[in-house]
Copies of this chain bind each other. A is one copy, B any other.
C-alpha cells in the first residue's frame, strides 16, 4: 500500500518534494495546500492533484488516504502547520529550520512528542553521497582524533535589484547556517561547549546579515570554523574539510559536468557549480523516500525533531553572539 502525503507549500521546496513524491513508487501525492490559491493551483495543475488553501480542509476530504504531511511552507508558518498535523495525528516531514525562534522549535518538539507522531527534518545533505562518505570516514575513526573542522557555504549573490525578501536580524543562522549546525552535531556530537559568531551585511539589504563567521569549540578541544555568505559572485560554493591526527578529509564541490575550456590569456571556462536544487537533486529524492520508509515501518526517522532542535540551539547561540559580540556557552542556553 502506498503512503499518502499532502504537501503544504507550493513554492520552490514544496514543488521539489511534490515531484519527488510523484516519482516514488511507494508514495502517493494526495493534495497540494497553499494559502496562496494561485500558487497552489499552478502546482496542482502541473502535477494533476487537487489543491486546497487550508491543510485542515485537505485532510478532512482525503482522511483515509493521508498518512503524512510534508511541510514546506514559509518557516514562520511551520508551527501552525505542525499543530494542525499533530491534532490530526499525521506524521510530518518538515523543512529546515524547524522554526525561526528557539521557543517555537521547542514547541514543535513538544507537539511531536505529545501527539506521538513521526517527524523528519529536511536536512537533505545527510542523504548526499559526499556527506555520507564523510560521515562514514568519521565513523571508522580513520582520521584519528579530530582537531579542526572547516565549513564553507557560499550562496550565489542575487542579481542586482533582486532581494531575498525581508529578514530579521540573525535569520541567516536559522535559514542558512542551520545546515552546518546539523552537520556539526551529526559529525561531532552535541552539545559543543561554546559558540562565537561575527557577522556583516555586505552585499544585500533586507535587515539581516548576509555573511558570518561562526567558531564552535568542543570540550575535547575540537575547533569548528564555519563561513557562510550570500554574496558569492561566482556561484554556489559548498565545501568542508576535517583535520584529524591521521590526516585530512575534504569534500569538494560537485560541478555540473567535467568540461573545461582553456583559452588565450590564461583564462578558463569551468563547469557550472549548480545551486542547491540541482546539487542536491538526488538527496532531495532520497530524503522523501526515507521518510516514506520510516512511516511504512513505523520507525523514528532520521534526522528528526531532536536534530532540528539541536540546530535551533546553535542558531540561537550564534544570533546572540553576533548581536551582542560575545561568545556564548551552550550550557547556558540549554539551562
Contacts and interface: CB of A to CB of B under 8 A. Distances in A.
Contacts of A217: 198, 200
Given A221-B201, A264-B233, A325-B327, A133 B248 contact: no
Identical subunits present: 4
A130 B234 contact: no
Best-surrounded residue of A130, A145, A154, A221 (most CB of chain B within 10 A): A221
Interface residues of A, number: 73
Contact of A250 (B227, B262, B327): B262
A286 to B, nearest CB: 14
A196 B266 CA distance: 33
A143 B217 CA distance: 32
Contact of A326 (B211, B251, B273, B326): B326
A88 interface: no
B234 A213 contact: no
A293 interface: no
Contacts of A271: 133, 266
A263 B243 contact: no
Contacts of A331: none
B130 A257 contact: yes
B269 A266 contact: yes
Interface of A: 129-130, 133-134, 137, 142-145, 147-148, 150, 152, 154, 157, 194, 196, 198-203, 211-213, 215, 217, 221-223, 225, 227, 229, 231-235, 237, 243-254, 256-273, 325-327
6 contacts: A130-B259, A142-B261, A252-B259, A253-B258, A266-B272, A268-B270
